[in-house]
Structure 1
């Protein structure tokens, strides 16, 4: 069993977290889920959804998969040295690093995506790419895979990425079964994003 750790902060985008978590949560024999923040306690999404988190230093299980969410709170976290250092620590330890939406801006600012291909939210594109000129930003993609990094586009794309990850680690049929169970119309082609505009 692998442990997925979501590293959270206030004003995160609700679906960036709960969309992928729904997909991974459908495979409880394969994935253990834990929710972390720098200091622990209750963390709130942009929409006021409260979630209990564990302080990074008190996590029970080592992180195999890091989930970095996005949202308006990223605007503060890109200037939060301790958060960026923690993100780098998790990135170094994890076998896989997944980001939703503007979560890739945090990874980029931390230097974790240097020399990598990555994507992000289309509506926040200019702000995201301004966080690092050392990343090969791919605007058109729904999600991008480069080595152990999976980065996805805006909000709902995190679910497509999560299913893509499941397909890569397991098989396409497993991913399709999860999509069927959640009644989600999965965009299976990572290069196709209906929300991309030239």
Structure 2
């Protein structure tokens, strides 16, 4: 007697979060949020680069991707990291056009650190409140005078736009995003499983205070 096939294939997750990668992205800008977003039951993480080839972070880590910009699916959420590579990418029409295209239909768009410079240069943050890395704040703010840049904020939410301060702040913002998409207990449990102490107050920004004092 033939035994029934008990194997099952999990259905594809309904929604997709695009992680935009480029040469010299900041590692923690990506993998901090990925740690918190990667177990969401309704979302699939999709890594993207312009050519579809793997890219190397500022720390020398090579990261593979799922799609090129040309083959990317419609995204429900979009995460844009920072890093030294943003200095080059602000002048890359392919990057800016891709961000504009995907942001039109995404339910939310988030940046970490100097990733806000790319959103600002693309015009996506026009008329919105936003923040960024405090060390690079002035450089990022120069990318658009149409943005209300906040010097003191761990992260900022303005409608469907989420922007965080430097590097580690992206992980705190990602947990706030989990709470927004699901609920606070889910975010707290996600942090607990990672043994991570969530700084859950977006106004708790000691680096921003230092920036305001001019240091």
Give the TM interval when normalised to the shorter protein: over 0.9
Does residue 109 (structure 1) correspond to residue 121 (structure 2)? The answer is yes
Question: What are structure 1's unaligned runs of at least 5 residues?
Answer: none
Question: Which stretches of structure 1, 4 residues or more, deviate above 3 A after TM superposition?
Answer: none
Q: TM-score, normalised by structure 2?
A: 0.89
Q: Secondary structure at the match of 1:41?
A: coil
User: Aligned equivalents of 2:38 and 2:206: distance in 1?
Assistant: 26
Deviations 1:111-138 (A, max 9, x none): 0000000000001011010111000001
Does residue 161 (structure 1) correspond to residue 173 (structure 2)? The answer is yes
What number of residue pairs does the alignment pair up?
Answer: 196
Q: TM-score, normalised by structure 1?
A: 0.96
66, 69, 93: which one aligns with 2:105? 93
Alignment correspondent of 1:83: 95
> 1:30 offset after TM fit, Å?
2.0
Alignment correspondent of 1:178: 190
User: Aligned equivalents of 2:105 and 2:125: distance in 1?
Assistant: 15
User: Aligned equivalents of 2:22 and 2:38: distance in 1?
Assistant: 21
User: Aligned equivalents of 1:191 and 1:144: distance in 2?
Assistant: 9
2:25·2:83 contact (CA, 8 Å) conserved in 1? yes
Question: What are structure 2's unaligned runs of at least 5 residues?
Answer: 1-13
55, 61, 75: which one aligns with 1:63? 75
Deviations 1:82-139 (A, max 9, x none): 2111111111121110100000010000000000000000010110101110000011
Does residue 31 (structure 1) correspond to residue 28 (structure 2)? The answer is no
| Higher Cα Rg, which structure | 2
Q: What's the RMSD between the two structures over aligned residues?
A: 0.9
Q: Secondary structure at the match of 1:58?
A: coil
2:103·2:109 contact (CA, 8 Å) conserved in 1? yes
